[in-house]
Amino acid sequence: MKPSYEDGHLIVAAARVLTHSMGKTPTPEMIANLLGLPEDFVGNLVVALGGEGILRVVENPFEVRVEIGDYTLLEALPREAEGPTMRDELDDFIQKKQHELEETEKMLSLGEIEKKQKAKMSKLEDEMKKMKRPRRPGD
């Protein structure tokens, strides 16, 4: 999916500010920290913008750096109103994971486990009582 016009401008602006303030090209992690966005989200945007030629992703064995490419191509990116964006997909993903986490916490809550264990023990005790035979004289 193409990044949105707004996201593209945001990433390019952050890269420009960091390049100016540090005197060297930033990493995607630095951009994420500046913007307060998840690193995975920014990393995906950087790759997508690199694919569009808007950014140049420079990799070496130790790190990935982001250089500004042809920023005029930002104007060709879809506006937010044209459809779902990467940010929308990220928000949906986060909501889904939050829901799954809540369900897991509910399932694993100590109260539920204790209730299930007590119910099993009670059932076993009842079965043991039923299985006991009366003793015969001489046994």
Residue 139 in this model has a pLDDT that exceeds 60: no
Which pair of tokens denotes residue 130?
């039923």
Of the pLDDT bands very low, low, confident and very high (cuts 50, 70, 90), residue 70 is very high
Of the pLDDT bands very low, low, confident and very high (cuts 50, 70, 90), residue 43 is very high
What's the whole-model pTM score?
0.59
Please tell us whether the domain made up of 5-81 is placed in CATH 1.10.10.10.
Answer: yes
In whole angstroms, give the CA distance from residue 33 to residue 21. Answer: 14
In whole angstroms, give the CA distance from residue 118 to residue 136. Answer: 33
**Model pLDDT for residues 97-127, shown as the tens digit of each residue:** 888 888 877 777 666 677 778 888 888 888 8
* Domain locations along the chain: 5-81, 92-129
